[in-house]
Amino acid sequence: MSQVTDQESLYYLQVVRRQPVVIVKGEGTKVWDEDGKEYLDFTAGWAVNNLGHCHPVVADAVAEQARTLMQTSNQFYTVPQVKLAKLLVENSCMDRVFVCNSGAEAIEGCIKTARKYGRLNRDGAYEIITALDSFHGRTLAGVSATGQPHYQEAWQPLLPGFVHVPYNDIEAIRKATTDNTCAVMLEPVQGEGGVNVPDEDYLKEVRAWCDANNLLLIFDEIQVGVGRLGTLWGYETFGVEPDVMALAKGLGGGVPIGAFLMKEHAAVLSPGDHGSTFGGNALTCAAAAAVMDYIVENDVVKHAAEMGVLLKQGLEKLRDKLEFVAGVRGKGLLLGLEFVDDMAAAAVAACNEEGLLLNPVRPNILRFMPPLTITPDEIEQGLQRLENGLVKARAPQ
Ligand SMILES: *Cc1c(COP(=O)(O)O)cnc(C)c1O
């Protein structure tokens, strides 16, 4: 056993199930463990390292900013914060930005925005409709919004004001809407819920319903935003614009950062309503601005879309070849491989051996979310390692 894993079990709070891999270094799509073994990383820090590990543009931005200015508090203006906000607004349908430190915090901001909107425009309405199998983070408001009982049961009483409906079911949203409703919050594609892609028209119908009833439409783009679906923003994949959107994961290229953005009519928070000590910090904003700049300037999203097609085709070939693979789903570089039974954990363990890191998002589903900068060669190699791992995982012991 490695000293690191031993010490982790002694000193760290035991709340996460880890793979037995100590990652010490990363570059692009590759990472290395303590013994120098190389892996292709198809988890990318949970859809975070969109430019790959330690991209020089991110590393340089962090290093330079760290020597210039890291933290001032939001009592003052800083250059990187405004630069990032301008980049986000100019490259999206949104008008205003608030920068925070994580996805869960971005969701908190969206919830506060929705409640204030309801107070101002819907006669005090405060209920937010969210979807079953959604994931909106681990704070108490986040787990209350999340539509998965196993994230919620231990934390009763939850924050009131959330109504959960089946995903991809417009009628359920119509039925759940009351005078108390102020917003609908959805992931354009559910990530944590198992890579669930809605029908073509679903989000358009939700948009029309929200317009007709003066409800805010909030998209949780924490996982799908910043290029993941092969469009810069998840909403573009479906041709629907939300009023409010949450970002995090891919935004900082590896540094912890989140943001919530809104159109002008939803910019209801006013001085004193919200704040954060670290949120919008010069260091993380410099990194995120460098990521956004690089992605836009180098057409990384187009590349991601092309690589997504390649990876999906490869997975579909495996589905046709291996009788225990039931299906392939997803968009862009957020893909899922479904098995006929609960073999995802065994598949991940076997693929570790082969040098491929994967995420078992459900007992019967693997999630693929490699860096957007992955190359065709790395996809081919990854698919080969995947096939070897799956066959081994399936072989009689
Ligand atoms: C990861 C994730 C979150 C939570 O983000 P954290 O940074 O872990 O707090 C919320 N919503 C979605 C869709 C996510 O994928």
The residue written with tokens 């869960």 in the block is 104
Note down pLDDT in tens along the chain; length 397 residues. 589 999 999 999 999 889 999 999 999 999 999 999 999 999 999 999 999 999 999 999 999 999 999 999 999 999 999 999 999 999 999 999 999 999 999 999 999 999 999 999 999 999 999 999 999 999 999 999 999 999 999 999 999 999 999 999 999 999 999 999 999 999 999 999 999 999 999 999 999 999 999 999 999 999 999 999 999 999 999 999 999 999 999 999 999 999 999 999 999 999 999 999 999 999 999 999 999 999 999 999 999 999 999 999 999 999 999 999 999 999 999 999 999 999 999 999 999 999 999 999 999 999 999 999 999 999 999 999 999 999 999 987 6
177 in a domain, yes or no?
Answer: yes
306 in a domain, yes or no?
Answer: yes
The CATH code of the domain that includes 169 is 3.40.640.10
* Domain C-terminal end among 297, 319, 337: 297
Task: Decide: 191 in ligand 1 pocket, CB within 6 A.
Answer: yes
Verify whether residue 95 is a known catalytic residue. no
- Integer Cα distance of 276 and 331 in angstroms: 34
Task: Decide: 102 in ligand 1 pocket, CB within 6 A.
Answer: yes
> Are 45 and 94 in a shared domain?
no
**Which residues make Cβ contacts (< 8 Å) with residue 97, sequence separation at least 6?**
84, 85, 88, 89, 259, 260, 261
* Domain C-terminal end among 276, 297, 318: 297
Distance 45 CA to ligand 1 centre (A): 12
- Marked catalytic residue, from 249, 260, 312, 368: 249
- Marked catalytic residue, from 220, 243, 339, 368: 220
- Integer Cα distance of 312 and 170 in angstroms: 28
CB 90 within 8 A of CB 293: no
Distance 319 CA to ligand 1 centre (A): 29
> Are 245 and 380 in a shared domain?
no
Task: Say if residue 55 is exposed, middle or buried (CB neighbours under 10 Å; 0-12, 13-18, 19+).
Answer: buried
30 in a domain, yes or no?
Answer: yes
> Are 159 and 255 in a shared domain?
yes
Question: Which amino acid is located at 242 in the chain?
Answer: P
60 in a domain, yes or no?
Answer: no
CB 291 within 8 A of CB 297: no
Give residue 91's pLDDT.
Answer: 98
| Exposure string over 190-225, b if 16+ CB within 10 A, otherwise e | bbbbbbbbbeeebbebbbebbeeeebbbbbbbbbbb
Beta bridge partners of 23: 33
62 in a domain, yes or no?
Answer: no
Q: Is the pTM of this model over 0.75?
A: yes
159 in a domain, yes or no?
Answer: yes
Number of compact structural domains in the chain: 2
Domain interval for residue 246:
69-297
> Are 293 and 317 in a shared domain?
no
Verify whether residue 116 is a known catalytic residue. no
> Are 247 and 285 in a shared domain?
yes
- Integer Cα distance of 341 and 28 in angstroms: 33
